[in-house]
Amino acid sequence: MNRIYVSTILVLLASVALAQQSPREQTVWKLEHAYWEYVKAQDLASYKALWREDFVGWPSSSAEPVRKDHIADWITRYAAKGLHLKSYMLRPAASQKSGQLVVVHYWVTMTWTGADNSEQPETIRVMHTWLKGEKGYQIISGMSMREPDAKK
């Protein structure tokens, strides 16, 4: 019962926060949801189209920063292990627009499922910087990290 109450409060708070955002921020949040739908569908072409050619960022799945040519490597590694994204939940933390840039910060909890129907939940923190250009908003930089285990 407490989980339902907490989840309801979080959804309401996120709704209020989203209602106060600029149209540009709302556009980028929709793109963030598209990003995770592409991961779920394993649609690498659409996923890669979200990234600018001059992207550089540091995903939690990499020991060092990567460029666009390696941005989908983590999805390929999960698929090679027989894992598929079953579901995800975004929890916005903050966003800010400045000129042609929109920066978003959020947590995403993903549930990965394997061939044996086992489920592996994982939560990461994400920061993306989106730049509006000729192709609309695309990610020019970002960083993610695994959420520390609260039980430790």
Could you give all domains of the chain from N- to C-terminal order, each with its CATH number?
22-146 (3.10.450.50)
pLDDT tens figures, 111-121? 999 989 999 99
Residue 20 binned pLDDT confidence (cut-offs 50, 70, 90)? confident
Across the range 49-57, mean pLDDT stands at 98
Q: What is the pTM of this model?
A: 0.84
Contact partners, residue 39, CB within 8 Å, separation at least 6 = 47, 75, 85, 88
Contact partners, residue 152, CB within 8 Å, separation at least 6 = none
> Which tokens hold the place of 126?
């994400």
Across the range 27-54, mean pLDDT stands at 98
Q: What percent of the chain has pLDDT over 90?
A: 82
Residue 2 binned pLDDT confidence (cut-offs 50, 70, 90)? low
